[in-house]
Structure 1
Amino acid sequence: MPRATCGRPRDPSEIFRSSSPLELFFDLIFAVSVSLASAQLVDAEIHANVASGLVAYLMVFFAVWWAWMNFTWFAGAFDADDWLYRVLVLTQMAGVVILAVGTTPAMAAGDFHLIIVGYVVMRLALVVQWIRASRSNAGLRKTALRYAVGIAVVQVFWVCYPLAPADWALPVFLLLVACELLVPVIAERAGQTPWHPEHIADRYGSFTLIVLGESVLASTAAAANAVENASQLLQFSLLGVGAFILVAGLWWVYFSSDASVWLRRRRAPMVFGYGHYFVFAAAGAFSAGVKVLLDHEAGSSGLSSATAVATLSIPVSVFLLGVWLLILRLCLRGAYKWLFPVGALLVGCAPLLAQLTPTAEADVQIAVVSVLGAAAVMVLLVVLIEASGVRERAEPAGAPAAG
């Protein structure tokens, strides 16, 4: 199928619509920002600054996720792939690099200047993209102009954000986040952009793999530490096994159902798109939790065993609940529909096991036992999905007829 030209919309019923090489390149640039944000979260959690570190992580992650999401949905509708489109996308990538550099000062010292510079560069490049789209299609001109004006206005307030008093920094940030989220809601009322269900599902699946890849890297680090620390071989080995089972389970759960089917039938793109903030952020926090547990087992963390386990198990629980709410809730049937969230909550309760397990009789550290318990629940959830037959059904439960 031919691509759009000069910002004209693409056919939403186009066949074989997968991620383009430029989109995949864009994802890899964003992976750097996710990795750096996760690393800073690890540093905060190791030094027992869990609450403040988590708040800073969620703030930085919003900038990463929102910029990625806006590009993804725009490219899904107006991917012209001409020279100007590529230059503008590469400009957005340059903004991502600036944002990635600003991740460390933002999370370590609360200095968001570089983050804002990178973010505004990305957003202004997108404004130009929307202006191009408005000039190329009369039917979507009003929608495109609403996007362009809305994004541009919000960027003015972001530039002023560093001037906010320290006590008002978080409330002002949340207000600006609300403004960003409202731009698509208001713009789409003038006419829905032609998003492609299979393409959107493919793009979100690709980003899920990127954030889960961070967790695989952390699990591999556990195995490497096991080899280097013979005195703690059993602890590190079991921790690596438990972490890998968890990340494999997250992958299994997320890709157990075709999200494009629900997107095509339900037509609720904003619920799917916005809800993934929690899924992606949880995946990134999970990889940080694995590294925190490594340091805890090595004795270089001041956290309690329960808190160290919570940095891993709670993100896993949030990820599972997010996927259930966005996708699986519409696909699972009968008792399976409600057993899954119960299991997800049990994973989040793993820190309780760390408090109940006696240290004197245990051959391994309490934290490792708790992680293995969470991994066992994850295995049960995978068995539940397979027993439900959800991967064998093409349509979500209760999906309305097309047309």
Structure 2
Amino acid sequence: MNPRSPQEAHRTASPLELFFDLVFVIAISVGGGHFHHALIEGHVWHGLIGFIMMFQCIWWAWMNFTWFATAFDNDDWLFRTLTFVQMFGVLVLAVGSEAFFTGENLELPVIGFIIMRVALIAQWLRASRCGGQAGRAARLYAAGLFVVQFFWIGWIFLPQALIVPGFFAFIALELCVPVLAEKLGRTNWHPHHITERYGLFTIILLGESLLGAANAIADAVQHREHVLLFVALAVAALVIAAGMWWLYFWPEHHREISSLRSSLRYGYGHAFIFASAAAVSVGIEVQISHFTDHSVLGTIATNLSIGIPVAVFLLGVWLLLIHKRCQSKALYAVPIVAVASLVLPVWGIVAAMVALVVVLVITEHRSDTVI
């Protein structure tokens, strides 16, 4: 298993990578459902912590495979089989994701993590045979993942009061593994390929919001007395998701990973973008529950269930992809809309997103005219 060239022409996501992403659609949908129920029952802080923990595991599982596959991908029978094993581990993690919200039965998500780890460590050990800096990095990745996994097994036996602090401490250890491996060794990454993979995952997460829109239409059919309200909510969900998509794909991403430091910033910084994109769909579901009187949350809290993730998404894209290359003062509309999302109702957020897209179109048109 030799390293892939970072200058390889026409490098795109493989059918196996696209198939791999499908299990995350299931995992995110299941975890988002648990978060939704926690919110409408009034367990806001408890649900938020559970969602962060759950999504961190999902994001990290996706990250591990994605960066490995951009560096090493010979697509032989063993590579495919080990990838399928990782997919099974993600499904087990999804089934056990309720544990992050209840603090009980933590064994199941850890078992899912172990399944993924066994397959991924095997992949790294195969890659380590190539020698050189890439081989050294592969050995460090395998060793780091192996050691940290013992901490996760020990996590199951921690006292209840240490479950949450222990989780974030062990996640911090996880984040150190790539930093150490890339500093002492070096793997290749393909800028266009890796940014395409991130873009595809963002589309998956935004697609969950479209599922919320579909649910709103389904509720409109069942609650005919509020049909216009639910149809309007479905349109609002579509407009918000479209605006987020428009902003995310507006800048050129491949320019942001020219060095190790920038690739780590790009890779880790996306955790906020991904999580907020997933949380928007939960906010849409909370709105539906609010309109059908199945939520204990008030109007302000219900609006914030959409406003906060939209704000985090916009600020994440602004800080990670736009502000350093900002050549127009008009683009400061992005953080302005982000802050406004925290105080606007859902219909106000829709209007702000439409205005933001108009700014982007005008800015792009002016840039093309100058060129």
Establish whether TM, by shorter chain, passes 0.5: yes
1:10 pairs with 4, 17, 26, which one? 4
- 2:358 partner letter: V
> Out of 337, 350, 354, which is 1:375 matched to?
350
| Counterpart amino acid of residue 314 in structure 2 | L
Q: Counterpart amino acid of 1:155?
A: Q
Stretch deviating more after TM superposition (256-265 or 383-392): 383-392
Residue in 2 that maps onto 1:304: 298
Q: CA deviation at 1:390?
A: 8.2
Aligned partners of 2:13 and 2:116: how far apart in 1?
20
How many residue pairs get aligned? The number is 368
Counterpart position of 1:387 = 362
What do the CA deviations read for 1:321-348 (whole angstroms, capped 9, x no partner)?
A: 1111111223322313433211111112
Would the alpha carbon gap of residues 48 and 60 (structure 1) be closer, same or farther in structure 2, given more than 3 Å must change?
Answer: same
Structure 2 stretches of 5 or more lacking a match? none
* 1:219 aligned to which of 207, 213, 218: 213
Q: Which residue of 2 aligns with 1:146?
A: 140
- 1:281-334 C-alpha deviation (Å, 9 max, x unpaired): 111111011011001001111110000111111111111111111112233223
RMSD after superposition: 1.7
Distance across 1 between alignment mates of 2:112 and 2:205: 21
Match of 1:161 in 2: 155
Q: Deviations over 1:78-129 (max 9, x none)?
A: 0111111111111111111111111124324543211111012112211111
2:334 aligns to what?
Answer: 340
**Aligned partners of 1:377, 1:14: CA distance in 2, in Å?**
41
Whether 1:97 and 2:72 are equivalent positions in the alignment is no
Question: How far apart are the structure 1 equivalents of 2:58 and 2:97?
Answer: 10
Structure 2 CA distance for partners of 1:86 and 1:314, relative to 1, 3 Å:
same
Partner of 1:363: none
Could you say what secondary structure the match of 1:318 adopts? Answer: helix
Q: Percent identity?
A: 42
How big is each residue's C-alpha offset from its partner over 1:344-364, in whole Å with a ceiling of 9 and x where there is no partner? 1111222xxxxxxxxxxxxxx
Q: How far apart, CA to CA, are the structure 1 residues paired with 2:74 and 2:108?
A: 30
- Alignment of 1:192 with 2:167, yes or no, is no
Identify which of 37, 41, 45 aligns with 1:43.
37
Task: Give me the whole-angstrom Cα distance separating, in 2, the residues matched to 1:139 and 1:42.
Answer: 45
Match of 2:267 in 1: 273
Q: Aligned-pair distance for 1:150?
A: 0.7
Q: CA deviation at 1:266?
A: 8.9
Letter in 1 for 2:55: F
The residue aligned with 1:357 is: none
Q: Please say if residues 245 and 378 of structure 1, whose CA atoms lie closer than 8 Å, have aligned partners that are also in contact.
A: yes
Counterpart of 1:206 in structure 2 is: 200
TM-score scaled by length of structure 2: 0.95
CA distance in 2, matches of 1:324, 1:106: 30
Distance 1:110 1:86 in 2: 33
Alignment of 1:21-170 (within 5 A): 21-170=15-164
SS at match of 1:375: helix
Partner Cα separation in structure 1 for residue 266 and residue 196 of structure 2: 13
Q: Give the letter aligned to residue 230 of structure 2.
A: F
Moved more, 124-133 or 171-180: 124-133
List gaps (5 residues or longer) in structure 1: 1-6, 351-369, 394-403
Residue pair 1:222, 1:236 contacting (<8 A) in 2 also: yes
